[in-house]
Structure 1
Amino acid sequence: MTVRPIVRFPDRRLRAVAEPVSVFDEDLRRLASDLADTMHAAPGIGITAPHIGVSKRVVVIQVPPAVEARTYVNPVIVWASDEMIRHTEGSVSMPGVTDDIERHARVRVRYQDLNGAGQVEEADGLLAVCHQHEIDQLDGLFWIQKLSRLKRDRLIKRYEKLLRTA
């Protein structure tokens, strides 16, 4: 079990676009395992390689009642429903603060597994929200960018206050 240090907001690496994975080897499996261990320790229900400072398009998600974490390599949303939902979101890179974000209620995600095989997954509810949140992160879009400027500024002030009192 390897828990890696998490990159904290406002680190610029959280705004960088992650690189596609082209080599499916033991290093990739180790990265996925480390991501799962780090996510569990945080704790969180989703994490990307950029959250630990690795610029690779790798996501690990474990939404209850899932028994095991699932790894998504090079994930892309290929369809999203017109229906929208609001859900409370946060980040392992900005612990202690959350806010409601509007996202698509259902999505279809195309990705590769750890062996490089192509897969497609349909998701709704919280899992759909997680896919959108983590894929945004891979694209350099940190979740608070989805908030209005006023809400974002207030949330950042709350986060900075938490850091000062910690």
Structure 2
Amino acid sequence: MPSVFVQGKPVASCPPLAPEARRGSVRRITEVGEDVLHKPCRDVTEFGPDLAALIDDMFLTMYVAEGAGLAANQVGVDLRLFVYDCPDDNGVRHVGHIVNPVLEPLDSARRRLIEEGEGCLSVPGAVMEVPRPDRAVVRGFDKEGRPLVVEGTGYFARCLEHETDHLNGHVYLERLSRRDRKDALRQMTDRREEVFARRAAKQKALSS
């Protein structure tokens, strides 16, 4: 089994930071409550240098925030696009981006719901148990407009589902009970400053 997949295809290796990050600039991450996170994003219709530059920025921003995935509306951009660098439950690393992603509906016989801890860069510091299917298939395009299919299991499936949710205008808090949602927001209040300090230190380390 290959140990790294880039854009859904096996590769011999990939550096610890995807090459896109070396070209990118760090952007501010939006937080729960901001309008752009709570409405469906627009389809990408123009493929070109602006889209490629946004992807570069998103990769670097994701690494600075120590995330496994990042959707465009998490950097304030109302477009259907996310990037990821995420392991699955077998330790296989998955790296890439997907434009205009659509999550395929799965036959109930082919999926299991797994409840595991889940966090979000737009809910800094909170981690809650969220049930999600253990398998995901996402169809979309790469930054050149070529069709793309990405499949994930375990934690990587959770990442694909979480990021697609973002582009549909949903944050994971909406999947929680009212009580758990309050708990998550309390965690965010308690840990937010600590998270921002860690991000600042990571940004400094990556730029040195």
TM-score by length of 2: 0.74
Let me know the Cα RMSD of the aligned residues.
1.7
Please, which moves more after superposition, 48-57 or 79-88?
79-88
Number of matched pairs: 165
Letter in 2 for 1:87: E
Q: Deviations over 1:21-73 (max 9, x none)?
A: 01110000000110000000011010000000000001001013437x30000
Bigger-Rg structure (1/2)? 2
Distance 1:95 1:158 in 2: 8
Query: What is the match of residue 31 of structure 1?
Result: 54
Does the Cα contact within 8 Å between 2:68 and 2:86 map onto a contact in 1?
Answer: yes
Letter in 1 for 2:171: F
Letter in 2 for 1:16: K
Match runs of 1:53-72 below 5 Å: 53-64=76-87, 65-66=92-93, 69-72=95-98
Distance 1:10 1:78 in 2: 28
Structure 1: gaps of 5 or more residues: none
Query: What is the match of residue 18 of structure 1?
Result: 41
Q: Does 1:135 align with 2:135?
A: no
Q: Deviations over 1:78-110 (max 9, x none)?
A: 133431112211111111110111001112111
Query: What is the match of residue 5 of structure 1?
Result: 28
Distance 1:158 1:84 in 2: 25
Query: What is the match of residue 138 of structure 2?
Result: 109
Letter in 2 for 1:147: L
Q: Does 1:160 align with 2:189?
A: yes
Structure 2: gaps of 5 or more residues: 1-23, 197-208
Between the aligned residues of both structures, percent identity stands at 31
Distance 1:146 1:71 in 2: 25
